[in-house]
Amino acid sequence: KLSSQLWYHQKLEREARICRLLKHPNIVRLHDSISEEGFHYLVFDLVTGGELFEDIVAREYYSEADASHCIHQILESVNHIHQHDIVHRDLKPENLLLASKCKGAAVKLADFGLAIEVQGEQQAWFGFAGTPGYLSPEVLRKDPYGKPVDIWACGVILYILLVGYPPFWDEDQHKLYQQIKAGAYDFPSPEWDTVTPEAKNLINQMLTINPAKRITADQALKHPWVCQRSTVASMMHRQETVECLRKFNARRKLKGAILTTMLVSRNFSGKFSLFPYLPWFCFV
């Protein structure tokens, strides 16, 4: 138990050290790190807007151009952390928050609990960490990896932003991983028929199996669909996307609730306590 407590303390220290390096309008900012009577507290920005994906389904109007604006902000945050040689490793909807409930509030990247520090473009095996549907092929192959894993996750997120469901999906986790490793996704009709070729092109460059050929955050920010969205991205309301995204949100919330119930049940059974024994990666 003592070693687990030490491990958890070191994990929080690493997260605090990483967060101190990051100061960007699209990243939840760390204000303080406090150790007191054996407890460790991280004090972050108060963000009150909730999750980005939950906000989208509550909107009366949502277009491809809106999706472009969202991924633009996400890429800005990823580019910032990569410039500071940080890899997030757990980019997913749950970690994309809104600064406030005001219309047009900034998207904020949160939760650096799995983040690691790397040396430039270093590729190494840093361990298996992340959330199943957003894991990159190189992580699943247990190959050396680095910053490109975050871009792969951005590609998955962008795909969902455009049609409301993920590019890789199977109830069987082994089959899901096989899909990801093969890069087996497509743009099925009719929902993708109304998405511009430029948007599909960016997804293809993000979901490139070979990490060495995958687009970088800086390059993605210069992609026409991102930097020229007013003239390139469609302004048509995507009602079907909103409806699919609402179902997607419900499914992932249910999975999260089931995982939490399992952990709390184990906690009360006395087999182990919820903290600090939580694994350092959680599959939700």
Tokens of 284: 């939700």
Tokens of 102: 């005001």
pLDDT attached to residue 208? 98
Of residues 32, 45, 66, 90, which has the active-site annotation? 90
Q: Does residue 224 or residue 4 have the better pLDDT?
A: 224
- For residue 90, indicate whether it is catalytic: yes
Quick one: pLDDT band at residue 3, thresholds 50, 70, 90?
low
SS3 147: coil
d(CA 240, CA 218): 31
* Contact present, 99 and 28 (Cβ < 8 Å): no
* Contact present, 234 and 64 (Cβ < 8 Å): yes
- How do residues 173-202 score in pLDDT, each as one tens digit? 999 999 999 999 999 999 999 999 999 999
Quick one: pLDDT band at residue 252, thresholds 50, 70, 90?
confident
Average pLDDT over residues 229-253: 93
Residues 6+ apart with CB under 8 A from 121: 146, 147
**Percent of the chain surpassing pLDDT 90:** 80
Tokens of 162: 């455009």
SS3 42: strand
* Contact present, 168 and 133 (Cβ < 8 Å): yes
Quick one: pLDDT band at residue 283, thresholds 50, 70, 90?
very low
What is the third-level CATH fold of 52-247? Transferase(Phosphotransferase); domain 1 (1.10.510)
* Contact present, 4 and 272 (Cβ < 8 Å): no
- By CB atoms closer than 10 A (0-12, 13-18, 19+), residue 220 is buried
- How do residues 62-84 score in pLDDT, each as one tens digit? 999 999 999 999 999 999 999 99
- Give the DSSP letter of residue 232: H
Average pLDDT over residues 76-96: 98
* Contact present, 150 and 89 (Cβ < 8 Å): yes
Tokens of 237: 């309301």
Q: Does residue 164 or residue 9 have the better pLDDT?
A: 164
- Summarize the chain as % helix, strand, coil (round to 5): 50, 10, 40
pLDDT attached to residue 207? 99
